[in-house]
Amino acid sequence: MSDKNYSVSITVDATAHEAFECINNVTGWWTVNMEGSSQKLDDEFTVRFGEIHVSTQKLIEVIPGKKVVWLVTDSNLNFIREKDEWTGTTVVFDITQKNDKTEVTFTHVGLVPQVECYDACSNAWGPYITDSLFKLITMGKGNPTNMES
C-alpha cells in the first residue's frame, strides 16, 4: 500500500492571482459553515459539516499567486474511530502559471491510504477541488456544502 499523500490537480483558464483569491474564499467552494478568516498569514478558521466533521485550520504559509498552506490545528471527524486524525496534517495549494492557464495542485499532507479517513476524505476532497473550486475560479460560483451545524 502506498504512503502517498492525497493530491489532485486542476488546470484553469485564469491567472494565478485569480486562483489564489478563490482558494482563500473558503465559503465559495468548500463550505458556507465557516467561522474565522482565511485570507492572510496566521488567520484561523473553523469549518463545520453538521456533527460529522469540525476542523480548525491556520494559514501557515501564504505566497500570493503561488502557494497557500493550512495547518489543521484541531479536528473532530465523527465518522471514524480516531476522531482527531486530521490534527497536525497540512493542506497545501500550489499555484503555477503555465502559459495562459494556471495549475492548482491540492495536497493533503498526512491524508495517506493507511489512515482510516483516506477513502471518505479523498472522495470528498476530489469534487471540492475538481468541481467546486474549479467552477469558482472559472465561472465565479462554486458548490460549497451548506449543512446546518
Question: CA 13, CA 146: separation in Å to the nearest integer?
Answer: 27
Q: Is the pLDDT of residue 1 over 70?
A: no
Residues 6+ apart with CB under 8 A from 144: 27, 28, 29, 30, 31, 32, 132
With contact defined as beta carbons under 8 Å apart, do 13 and 103 qualify? no
Residue range 12-38, pLDDT digits in tens: 999 999 999 999 999 999 999 999 999
Query: What fold characterizes domain 16-139?
Result: Alpha-D-Glucose-1,6-Bisphosphate; Chain A, domain 4 (3.30.530)
Residue 4 burial (CB < 10 Å; 0-12/13-18/19+)? exposed
What pLDDT, on the 0 to 100 scale, is given for residue 146?
87
Residue 91: other Cβ atoms inside 10 A: 20
Residue range 61-80, pLDDT digits in tens: 999 999 999 999 999 999 99
Chain mean pLDDT for the chain: 95
With contact defined as beta carbons under 8 Å apart, do 8 and 125 qualify? yes
What is the percent of the chain where pLDDT is above 90? 93
Domain ranges of the chain: 16-139
What pLDDT, on the 0 to 100 scale, is given for residue 3?
75
pTM, to two decimals = 0.95
